[in-house]
Amino acid sequence: MPKVALVTGSSRGIGRATALRLAADGYDLIVNYVHSEKQATQVVETIKAKGRKAVSVKADVSKWHEAKRLIETAVKSFGRIDVLVNNAGIYERTVLDRLTPEQWDRRVATNLSSVFYCTKAALPYLKKAGWGRIINISSQIAFKGTDHGSEYAASKAGILGFTKAAAQELARYNVTVNAIAPGPVDTDILAGDTPEKKRQRAREIPLRRIGRPEDVAAVVSFLASKDSDWITGTTLLVNGGSVMY
């Protein structure tokens, strides 16, 4: 029976590329979205055209009850869940003196609380199966910070701590928990960049190019595979060398 993967925020960008890559790897997919229904439907249709099963589910994973419903829908649709990719996130450039408490709460809930909510909801099924993969999408900003997104840096750094703790707790159930910290990737986050700004970004990266969503998806594919059986609690930097630890 094919394994089942759920990718939060998978209608666009890294999430979309990840869903398509996992489908190519033989997984059936739950495609999650909040606003981009048309794009989510297109992802589902693309996956089905490749011979895999897929359904799209609208759910705001920054809210516990919706994250729980998303996981339950996945299990109801396919009978199981094997791989959870916590990808959903928002990045809106705001300096501290303009950042409101409401913005902080909403962004931290989307970027960090959603990781806890979806993981908690998936746990009973992963533990029962005795195997699973949880892959959390963080950011290199968790390491280097930023001058216009303290809430983003804090939430992405929080993912790293959560990943290490959850990995230790869930290892006894043969469930691995890892994180990926991408650098600049050509998604909607960089949509406001001028061509010159993008060239500048590329010049600052040792490998001299901005990342593609597929670059991150390939690493998700590895962490979801049997080849990563002895890797847990780690964070892989996927950034062309722009931050090294």
Asked if 245 is an active-site residue, the reply is no
Q: Are 111 and 89 in contact (CB under 8 A)?
A: yes
Between β-strands 132-137 and 175-182, what pairing exists: parallel, antiparallel or unpaired? parallel
- Number of Cβ within 10 Å of residue 124's Cβ equals 11
d(C-alpha 179, C-alpha 219), whole Å = 10
Sign of CA dihedral 113, 47, 22, 235: negative
- Number of Cβ within 10 Å of residue 168's Cβ equals 12
**Do you know the residue count of the chain?**
245
What the block records as the tokens of 149 is: 């997104």
Active-site choice (27, 117, 152, 245) = 152
Listed residue (143, 183, 145, 171) closest to 233, CA to CA: 171
The β-bridge partners of 180 are 137, 236
Enzyme catalytic residues: 152
